[in-house]
Amino acid sequence: MKQIPNLFTLLNLVFGCLAIVFVLQTGEAIVVLDNSGAVNITLPERIWLGALFIFAAAVVDFLDGFLARLMKASSAMGGQLDSLSDVVSFGVAPGVILYQMLRLSYAQEDNGLDVSVLALVPAFIFSAAAAWRLAKFNLSTDQSHSFRGVPTPAAGLVIASLPLIFWYTTSNSLREVMLNKWLLYAVVLVMSYLMVSNIRLMALKFTDYSVKNNRMKYVLLVLSVALIVILKWQAVPLIFVLYILCSLLDRKPSSTPLTP
């Protein structure tokens, strides 16, 4: 029974692997010749499906910690598995999303399909920063009710929201903006910096439910729900910005260890 939380952690890892598989399934048109003529086979882009698996990994990531506390099954092994799984699901998989979105951005240009891989590799700065953030957290002794730097899962979910916004929006102008290569490079750098920085950010855990002690958490919760109802997937980056702002307005000392 004590291994159940670890099995959920490994499911997080599996979802991260599936996310990578689907993100790499780019749209292609294949012509197959047979005796009766040509047969066209179209393979659609699956980046959006990979993004959904990252969100599924986040749900499982929450559940493994919840179950570990509920069953009193927390262990050093579980902590290591959690970080290793998070590197894949919220570091590597979002990095691959950024790689593919950069590739799609360059594909719009003349001779864009011949873009050098060197122009796309910066996407993995995000993955490296995620690994750095998780390693720093594991060695830290002063992150309890607050974090130093943006948690890797939060940053990964922001990146995962980008293809979902792109695929589900009806605004062509928004799609053009999202496939702007300079904007994507900026996203890589900003998100990577926020992860490895020492900016104090609140942890979304409640030691009690009083308004006095959790004012900014309740503000974030109410505004997040409203944004999701109104904007759907487009709400995710805005909620992230709200999280940063609310954290800067609500800095408190911490005492209870948290998972990354």
Specify the higher pLDDT residue, 8 or 251.
8
Query: How much of the chain exceeds pLDDT 90, in percent?
Result: 45
Specify the higher pLDDT residue, 5 or 49.
49
Per-residue pLDDT of 191-216, as tens digits, reads 999 999 988 898 877 666 777 777 88
Query: What secondary structure letter does DSSP report for 243?
Result: H
- Judge whether 255 lies within some domain: no
pTM of the model: 0.84
Looking at residue 45, its pLDDT comes to: 67
- Judge whether 256 lies within some domain: no
Cβ(40)–Cβ(31) below 8 Å:
yes
Q: What CATH number corresponds to the domain at position 128? A: 1.20.120
Domain of 108, in residue numbers: 4-249
- Judge whether 142 lies within some domain: yes
Cβ(155)–Cβ(194) below 8 Å:
yes
From the list 162, 150, 10, 21, the residue with the least C-alpha distance to 86 is 10
Where helices occur in the chain by DSSP H, the ranges are 4-23, 47-70, 76-87, 93-107, 124-139, 152-168, 172-178, 181-196, 215-231, 235-249
Q: How many domains does the chain have?
A: 1
Q: How far apart are CA 220 and CA 227, in angstroms?
A: 10
- Judge whether 13 lies within some domain: yes
Phi/psi of residue 98, nearest 5 degrees = -60, -40
Looking at residue 5, its pLDDT comes to: 73
CA angle at residue 173 from 167 to 178, to 5 degrees? 55
Phi/psi of residue 197, nearest 5 degrees = -75, 175
CA distances from 20 to 5, 17, 88, 223 (A): 23, 5, 9, 31
- Judge whether 75 lies within some domain: yes
- Judge whether 213 lies within some domain: yes
Q: How far apart are CA 126 and CA 87, in angstroms?
A: 11
- Judge whether 211 lies within some domain: yes
- Judge whether 254 lies within some domain: no
